[in-house]
Structure 1
């Protein structure tokens, strides 16, 4: 298609904004979150598809002069023509616009608006949306709402809309992306605006990790206007408890991004909930909710929210005064009955340990504090290691794409021990695995009387909102004391976890138990579906280089020491390949 033909085709088409507005008026009952496809576009020229830094450089060279032009309509027309032939795919094009230097932000904002409201094809509108994501103002919200009805532009529109109107963006995301039978009734209530129905549905909403992810939980919190809901009268303990569970879901460290840090009213929601927490009856369920929030204020994402001076500490003091008062002490610190189920026992251990961890410190932590944390054990049990550096948690800001690594690697197997030989240590890994969204690595080395954490790497991780951590230096003697303290603190363990730790250590110390059978020990751990069930993994190497894998689940009756001794005797006496309780 020639340039004159291209201009004729574009001028004869309505803008995508006009197209979306017409569809919204003609079909008001259709979902307004990305419900409509884009119209067919005229064919464009073949593009070479520059990638990486070459693509970003080409975009900046081509667009920077045009985005600084004083004549917005003329600059926009020239941008249309330039974008048609720019040899860059749409993804790198938008990425470059989001990061390039802008000489005149007011001019770039005006051009972004012009492209967004008059662009007739996807590419110029996408560039306009990228500019509004950086520079948008409240007057852009009505136009973004209309464009949110177009499926292929939905993500870009939401990224531009969210900083300007978080509640509307959340409603549209929920409408477009949440269809599960457990959560859709609450979404429909939110879309209706019926406050009575919203409260009723929220109280009944399942909020476990298998039902609702952290991102969906954040959208629901945004759409609810959580602080206003919590500050309403009368105080409903059921609503308070659900709001607390919802905040805990948003703050889930296992999410692939720190969702709580993106919740626009997070500090106000925490403040409103804690101030009214006294209305909650002292039950185990309510203690779990309040301690989960306290743990996050202590060492999770909530710690690094933009608090007023002293506000976070005041909220923790309020929670501590409530949970450690006589009415709550028996709930938080009393052990389970002798005939309690393993799940009830795990929760009782968690309540006692978490209360001590958050509220029991006799003196402020030093330069480095290492703690083991786990969520409510009624959720899928995922144990993580957290690091407080100068009193501030490291991972939410330095990584944010998953929890700290398991203490069996960082503490029990000595990964954090410092020697004169520099060693790279993985502190955290994305919940979806390092190969997908990366991990945070640091080099640990002992230099004379100091231990140094240096050469940080966010291997494979998406760009972080925070700069790379600085080099940290610790007095070696103090570092060793802290590492010994953290490694020896097993007060959070339940019997299955204790058994797995002791068995793993014993089997690593006795490789002869396996070599006599021609096997290699791999690890011992607890099954996430059944935390009391220990799994022992090992492998057989064949002469052709192939491997045969085994998962053995020893009997789970008896105290941990007895279970370990029984497993060791059996391995010494019987070929582990003959066990009935294995899977290969």
Structure 2
């Protein structure tokens, strides 16, 4: 409310310049998410003046507070002409991701513009952008959501379940045309949901968990091993067992058949050979797996 009050006072002065706001917000709380008070202040003032002020602050602001306020103004009343500016500042996504995602979501072409940003951000920024894509629920985004949403960050737990639901993962993975990108990404989605308690939908709450696990196993058996698939299968076998996150998987007895099937794959000669070759090549994911107690117990690494 303090930031909104300063904006209202600024716009009440016809002679005030955008540069007058460059140092106006250091001593007040500036939210990084959409805020009803700042939005109301923007909507009450002259639209062209609000836009000029927001654009100037984004382009010329030298501290995070003023740039955040500028982005909030553009997010409230911006036009399609502002999309390149929003996307550019959105690349600094840990701070500016929430407002950039909100701004792109409300403008025409939101899905395509969010996908551009989603391919270029990580961490918290990726959370905001992927959640916006899920809210839009546009079929155009489903190919990307099915193949590239999860990038391996722990924060993927906030949106993995939403991605699975929005993109129709259970239909895609059991359909007639499933490519390797979908299969490998499905493994990542399943794995994330085994530790997403407190963040997003967990595997135990995902209504299609059994069907997707069974389909994932079928495709792994059909495709054969790769270092990444070996790691995913190994982590899933561990996460679905007694040492997994109980709050995310629930009773381990439910998952025992799938866990046994993953372990059976990992025990095959060709899978063991692939893992050993990757370890010799110092594949970072395989190395990290071998450094764990559960990894060292696998046949592939028993003599390493």
TM-score computed with the length of structure 2 as normaliser: 0.47
TM-score computed with the length of structure 1 as normaliser: 0.26
Higher strand residue share: 1
Of structures 1 and 2, the one with the larger relative CO (CA 8 A, separation 6+) is 2
Larger-gyration structure (1/2): 1
Higher helix residue share: 2
